[in-house]
Amino acid sequence: MLNLFKYSSNEKNKNTIKKINIARNKLKNYSNILLKEQTIKIKNEINDCNKINQNVVINAFAVVKEAIFRATGLTLFDVQILGGLTLNDGNIAEMKTGEGKTLVALLPAYLHSLTNQGVHIITVNDYLAERDATLAKQIFSYLNIHVGLITQKINNKERKKEYQKDITYITNSEVGFDYLKDNMAIHKNDILQKNFHYAIIDEVDSILIDEARTPLIISGNAKIEKNFYQNAKKIANTLKTILDYKIDEKSKNIILTVSGITKCEKILKIENLYNVRSPWIKYIINALKAKEFFIKNRDYIIKNNEITIVDEFTGRIMIGRRWSEGLHQAVEAKENVKIEAENKVLASITYQNLFLLYKKLSGMTGTAKTEEEEFINIYKMNVINIPTNKKCLRKDLPDLVYKNEYIKWQAIANECLDMYKIGRPTLIGTTSIKQSELLSEMLTELKITHNLLNAKPENVAQESDIILKAGRKKTITIATNMAGRGTDIILGGNPTKIAEQEIKEYIENKCKNANKERYLDNNEIALIIEKIKYFENIDESTSNNIKNLDDFILLYKKIKEKYKGECQKEREQILELGGLYIIGTERHESRRIDNQMRGRSGRQGDKGTSRFFLSLQDNLFRIFGGNNIEKIINQLKIDDNTPIESILLTKSLNSAQKKVEAYFYDIRKQLFEYDEVIHSQRKAIYNERKKILSYSFNRDCIIEYGEQTIEEMLTMYYKNQRKEFILEKIIKLLNIKIKLFKLYDMNDSELKAFLKEQFRVSYELKEMYLEQLRPGLIRQLEKYYLLQQIDKAWQEHIDKMNLLKEYIGWRSYGQQDPLVEYKNEAFNLFINMITYIRQTVIYLIMRSRLIVDI
Ligand code: ADP
């Protein structure tokens, strides 16, 4: 095993960076061919000493730095190399937006790819995976490293190929689903992934914190109980809050009062709502949750008559995702849309445990420090803050707190008007679609031209366009949290992108005029643009088969040059106005999300400002503020229109926010702890499955299952009163033809030896019989029965474990620790499952016969 993971030394970093730069300078004179050869050279170096030593790191990083320069003309900053070294140590590099993380990841990715075990770069969405892979392909073409890309639309055949590449760009959900599917594969060739070696997670907080609250689930449709949902909804509508049920906003829970319970029992004509055999409680609680907690256009939207979830952190719609355990159906019932079938979980895993499958992990993001404890505890990754290349000049102004919400929004609208008048670009972040629309209406009334970006489908399509403009003069942008992650806002505009847009329009027009019959479709135009960009930096003629490509390249260069000048001028004007202004309209559930918002301004040493406008009616104050905040306000005695800018208040607010963070951390920790129990079982089952799948000869496994079954049943036999019954069961199971009484006189060891012997003999006879009829069939049968029974039992086991978790939840008012109880019972369930698998496999295989059609 290569000693890849030990190399770590923070103190040496400065020195190492110096050495990397020296090594890189030497490479400057190398021809492209010679540069390419460095890959083989470093590979040999690694093989020779069987580890990655400091020299290898230095050489590999230097080579990447040179390749980046040749492909893009950019020279890596020292802080970027420091970021690369941090990733290489298996840590999280906290680097601000716009610091160039995409390039940073290439350094350790290249190094780890040299051991031929595969590297995954994980992104939050397909767009980023595609964008970053395209760039990486250009750069690594100089180093003979193959870059793969897996997005939703890539089919299995291609996927397998992409997984074989040196470095593969992929989203977190694709890698997770492929893992689960691989472990449901029936044929060895259907397995797509290699072993999990090294992963670099981009936007690591978003993946390992925000998304880690809901597990990944592969499900199959099961029964549908429409009436239950409809009836539960009707009941929920008759129940009254406080009197019949209490709402716990903190834990998003509903608790029925005695009055509520009695009412439900009366309507349903049942005696005990909490009887385990009565299904109703789950439906009623879900219906109440749907009524109280799930708000249209905040938590979900209705699109094509379907409930589509809106991610509370990013504001994006999450197509295809459903709330689990009947909650989604309860919301469907509430909105009177079609109730989709309840899903049966076939396989599931949490992101925590998925990423812990990698031998080495590292991550990058702009915001992780506030969640450092969690990263250390669960993933053993430290969060290292990397200084910005240029000093950050953004001013984060103190919060302004208004007494009431309406006045807060008016103040925000007025602030926008002031900015609009002076032409300063402003980005306002809202936490819901509803709020973004409300503000948009207010701005329209004030005649402020603005762009609106939220999860509504008609707006999403323009996302990149809106972000492209967000840094331009006189541009006011309202956005739910989604905007800006992964795409940075450039002051004065991005000349490359604007030039791209113009050349695209030019080509479209040219096609139209040249030949009215033949339009190029969007994909074809995108391909031409990619080629233009690719050949732009290569001086020789393209000798490409695209007509006019050389002319297009020339024109593109000209347009870009023109905009470079214009954008630069505009940028200077904006900087004079103070740079991009970020307005936050509500503190989020985590300081990290607030920091993300602020981080959109002040990139690469630009000036900028951020300010949060809050009101005492905001969720954070209302739910988590406690008495402290109310006291402070009453002491201050101010009128409604004057905002409060108090350090004491900010402190209370911060502590409220920390409370929320801790609360959500607990939820994730709990999910993780519970999933850990099933995770070790899952690993055991998946390993057994993989072994069976990869062997063409599973006879030994059958014999082992048979013998273990005999031993287990004999243990029962000696403990049990109804001995005869057990013996009969053994004989039946093994399909042995023998008179029972013959066994009675045997002692323990004789009986065990006899049964084992009998089992072997009958199995050999079975083998011979089948082998004669169809050679090779028995081996296929063995594999088939083993896999079939493991999968069936495992799926039933998942169901039981889910139920167990739910019931442990109901039961846990006593003194016992529910997790300990869960672990104990889960262990028993697991043992039962294993016994069941062995017995059914033996039962089935001992009865297999070939029916031959004549
Ligand atoms: P992040 O992911 O950290 O927000 P990106 O990787 O998207 O940043 O890069 C932001 C911008 O900075 C890109 O336009 C990229 O080309 C540019 N960039 C990255 N590294 C450098 C560099 N060393 N010199 C100049 N520009 C750079």
- Give distance in angstroms: CA of 630 to centre of ligand 1: 45
Section 518-542 average pLDDT: 66
Q: In degrees rounded to 5, what are phi and psi of residue 6?
A: -85, -25
Q: Is the CB of 97 under 6 A from ligand 1?
A: yes
Residue identifier of the C-alpha nearest atom 24 of ligand 1: 74
Determine the Cα–Cα distance for residues 805 and 826; give it in Å rounded to an integer: 9
Which range has the top average pLDDT, 311-325, 337-351, 677-691, 803-817? 677-691
Instruction: Kindly give the number of the ligand 1 atom that is closest to the alpha carbon of 494.
Output: 14
CA of 97 to the centre of ligand 1 (A): 9
DSSP 770: H
pLDDT, tens digit, 9 for 90 and up, residues 414-464: 999 999 999 999 999 998 888 899 999 999 999 999 999 877 666 666 777
Is 99's C-beta closer than 6 angstroms to any atom of ligand 1?
yes
pLDDT of residue 496: 86
596 lines ligand 1 (CB under 6 A): no
**The pLDDT of residue 810:** 57
Using a pLDDT cut of 90, give the percent of the chain over it.
Answer: 43
Terminal CA-CA length for the chain: 57
pLDDT at 443: 97
Higher pLDDT: 545 or 242? It is 242
The number of CA neighbours under 13 Å toward the Cβ of 763 is: 26
Q: Which of 6-10, 569-573, 849-853 has the highest mean pLDDT?
A: 569-573
Does the pLDDT at position 484 exceed 60? no
Ligand 1 proximity of 100 Cβ (cutoff 6 Å) = yes
Where is pLDDT greater, at 808 or 104? 104
- Closest ligand 1 atom, residue 77 Cα: 23
Give yes or no for residue 2 having a pLDDT over 60: no
pLDDT tens sequence across 596-648 = 889 889 988 899 999 999 988 887 777 776 666 667 767 766 677 778 777 77
Q: What is the pLDDT of residue 29?
A: 94
pLDDT in tens, 246-264: 888 777 788 888 899 899 9
**Long-range CB contacts for residues 767-775, cutoff 8 Å, separation at least 24:** 767/699, 770/848, 770/850, 773/850, 773/852, 774/850
- Pocket flag, ligand 1, residue 471 (CB < 6 Å): no
Atom of ligand 1 nearest to the CA of 488: 4
Say which DSSP state 401 is in.
Answer: E
- With a 6 A CB cut-off, is 606 part of the ligand 1 pocket? no
Q: Is the pLDDT of residue 745 over 50?
A: yes
Per-residue pLDDT band for 583 (boundaries 50, 70, 90) equals: very high
pLDDT value at residue 539: 55
- Per residue in 20-52, is it b (16+ CB within 10 Å) or e — as a string? bbebbeebeeeeeeebbebbeebbebbeeeeeb
The arithmetic mean of pLDDT across residues 562-591, rounded, is 92
Instruction: For ligand 1, atom 26, name the residue with the nearest CA.
Output: 74
Q: Is 816 annotated as a binding residue?
A: no
Task: Report pLDDT for 853.
Answer: 46
98 is in an annotated binding site: yes
C-alpha 198 to ligand 1 mean position (Å): 23
Q: Which residues contact 355 (CB under 8 A, 6 or more apart)?
A: 199, 201, 207, 208, 361, 379
User: Ligand 1: distance of its center to the CA of 135 in Å?
Assistant: 12
Partner residues linked to 216 by β-bridges: 349
Instruction: In whole angstroms, give the CA distance from residue 30 to residue 729.
Output: 77
Q: Does residue 105's CB lie within 6 angstroms of at least one atom of ligand 1? A: no
User: Is 492 assigned to a binding site?
Assistant: no
Question: Is residue 7's pLDDT more than 60?
Answer: no
Spatial distance between the Cα atoms of 256 and 237, rounded to a whole number of angstroms: 14
- Read off the pLDDT of residues 112-129 as tens digits, 9 standing for 90 and up: 999 999 999 999 888 889
Ligand 1 binding pocket includes 84 (Cβ within 6 Å) = no
Band (pLDDT 50/70/90 cuts) for residue 409 is: very high
Q: Compute, in degrees rounded to 10, the torsion defined by CA atoms 85, 88, 89, 90.
A: 130
State whether the beta carbon of 101 lies less than 6 angstroms from ligand 1.
Answer: yes
Dihedral sign (CA 677, 380, 170, 42) = negative
Give me the residue label for tokens 């083998």.
767
Cα separation, 248 vs 572, in Å, equals 51
The residue nearest atom 10 of ligand 1, judged by CA position, is 98
pLDDT at residue number 8:
43
pLDDT tens-digit map of 356-387: 999 999 999 988 888 898 999 889 999 999 99
Of 66, 68, 99, 200, the residue with max ligand 1 atoms within 8 A of its CB, to mutate for a pocket test, comes to 99
The dihedral through the CA atoms of 159, 162, 167, 168 has a sign that is negative
**Whether pLDDT at 696 is above 60:** yes
Query: Cα separations (Å) of 758 from 715, 769, 837?
Result: 18, 16, 21
Q: Enumerate the β-bridge partners of residue 253.
A: 248
Which of ligand 1's atoms lies nearest the C-alpha of 103?
6
Is ligand 1 within 6 A of the CB of residue 76?
yes
Burial class for 658, CB neighbours closer than 10 Å (0-12, 13-18, 19+): middle
From the CA of 76, give the closest atom in ligand 1: 23
| pLDDT 10s digits, 271-286 | 888 765 677 888 899 9
164 in contact with ligand 1, CB cutoff 6 A: no
Lowest mean pLDDT among 93-102, 334-343, 404-413, 475-484: 475-484
| Ligand 1 and 98: CB distance under 6 A | yes
For 319, other C-beta atoms within 10 Å of its C-beta total 11
Tell whether the model's pLDDT for residue 54 goes beyond 80. yes
Confidence band, pLDDT 50/70/90 cuts, at residue 136: very high
Residue 99 annotated as lining a ligand binding site: yes
Q: Is 60 exceeded by the pLDDT of residue 812?
A: no
Spatial separation of the C-alpha atoms in residues 544 and 612, rounded to whole Å: 53
Q: Is the pLDDT of residue 521 over 80?
A: no
Does 618 appear as a known binding residue?
A: no
347 DSSP β-pair partners = 218
What pLDDT is stored for residue 376 in this prediction?
93
- Find, among 441, 485, 444, 431, the residue nearest to 297 by Cα: 431
Q: Annotation-wise, does 101 bind a ligand?
A: yes
Report which protein residue has its CA nearest ligand 1's atom 9.
100
Lowest mean pLDDT among 166-180, 494-508, 555-569: 494-508
Nearest-CA residue for ligand 1 atom 19 is 100
- CB of 496 shorter than 6 A to ligand 1: no
Which residue's CA is minimally distant from atom 16 of ligand 1?
Answer: 100
Mean pLDDT of the chain: 85
Tokens 């004491």: give the residue: 648
106 lines ligand 1 (CB under 6 A): no
Q: Domains for the chain: give ranges and CATH numbers.
A: 4-217+351-385 (3.40.50.300), 223-341 (3.90.1440.10), 393-491+579-645 (3.40.50.300), 496-572 (no CATH), 670-847 (1.10.3060.10)
Spell out the SS3 assignment of 576-625: HHCCEEEEECCCCCCHHHHHHHHCCCCHHHCEEEEEEEEECCCHHHHHHC
pTM of the model: 0.78
CA of 535 to the centre of ligand 1 (A): 21
Instruction: Give the closest residue to 419 by CA, choosing from 586, 581, 585.
Output: 581
The pLDDT of residue 78 is: 95
Q: How does residue 540 score in pLDDT terms, banded at 50, 70 and 90?
A: low
Least trusted range by pLDDT, from 276-285, 414-423, 561-570, 749-758: 276-285
**Rounded-to-integer distance, Cα 119 and Cα 164, Å:** 10
- By most ligand atoms within 8 Å of CB, the mutation choice from 21, 74, 364 for ligand 1 is 74
- The alpha carbons of the chain give a radius of gyration, in whole angstroms, of 32
Residues 509, 511, 512, 513, CA torsion sign: positive
* CA–CA gap between residue 796 and residue 833 (Å, rounded): 9
Predicted local distance difference test score (pLDDT) of residue 221: 64
| CA–CA gap between residue 256 and residue 254 (Å, rounded) | 7
Closest atom of ligand 1 to CA, residue 366: 3
CA 290 – CA 303 distance, rounded (Å): 18
